Structure 1
Amino acid sequence: MTEFEYPPIAGYFAGVDEVGRGPLVGDVVTAAVILDPSKPITGLNDSKKLSEKKRLALAEEIKANALAWAIGRATPAEIDQLNILQATMVAMQRAVQGLSVQPGYVLVDGNRTPDFGLPAEAVVKGDGRVAEISAASIIAKVQRDHEMAELDKLHPEYGFAKHKGYPTALHMEKLAELGPLAEHRRSFKPVQRALGQGS
């Protein structure tokens, strides 16, 4: 993969990534991270390529050593109202607005970026190429997995701790059997089918 070349800027780079566009339940969670150049963190990578143990350890290290980090989110109701893509963009804006340090430039994983009111660039496969985006992907993934574990405690019969809300066979089976929760995204086809609204 090609090495990412940082543009010359004044100020700090913030990396932004999202977790949870595909699941049928819960918030879409984003994170924004500004790393401290004087405190490099080794082992950063796309959160999906790291073990859970490694992710948890790195998340603590990022939170302890980053210049700033923040979580953004959009709720199932907002996802249903806006659509998942637009809700993700709003959640990314919220994460950047939540930073205690103003970045000079925002790097977003993927192929599009919302309007942050700051210079920004989308980086395809950025979570494996840009340290700031890798850090954001880890923070967002650990946060959302924790929220799914909490939801699992409230509704253990759905198996959220296992599938994290993604449309696995188990999740689909439980959705059909038990019906959707308030946390389910009503605009998603499998949830509509469970409500008897979809084809």
Structure 2
Amino acid sequence: MIRDYKIVLASASPRRRELLSQISLNPVIEPSTVIEVITTRVPEDAVMELSLQKAEDVARHQQPGTIVIGADTVVAAEGKILGKPKSHQEAYEMIESFQGKTHQVFTGVTLIYCGTNGTTVRSFAERTDVHVYPMTPEEIRLYAEDEEPMDKAGAYGIQGRFAAFIKGIDGDYSNVVGLPVGRVYQELKQICEQEEKA
């Protein structure tokens, strides 16, 4: 049973924590302090790389029987990775680049089971295509000047005011929020089943 294990989330994201509590998992929050290094421009590879760095950083000092979840989300518009905006102007530019078009959201997840005889590591990336309605310059400006886009990859939150501009998605909604919880739960279940057989 997953609930028999201590689960640690290597992230301070309130959205990831809410998504996990939605599926009855209440992890210990221990944000990673690692300096993130990306060695690729391929969005799927970049998020898996970052999620692994975060999970490994936090797993180093865990007791046996702990599962660490590391995650990283990026938005990619026409192949270009969009991180969190550093200014409202940058938020405007990011949104302008994908309004009226389809872009991708990738979340990389690494699960590390800390066992008495070493660790088990699983990494994967989930992709969701997001279709955005055309927006006027005024609509972009009003949204970009708000605080909502400032702590979010790609400068928007699908679960916030930006929902007004979402035409539809192909893939997992929770992935766009920051963690594909269905896939996370299934992977956790497999880790636990393997450990129980061992």
Taking structure 1 as the reference length, what is the TM-score of the superposition?
A: 0.27
* Structure with the bigger percentage of strand: 2
Higher relative contact order (CA 8 A, sep 6+): 1
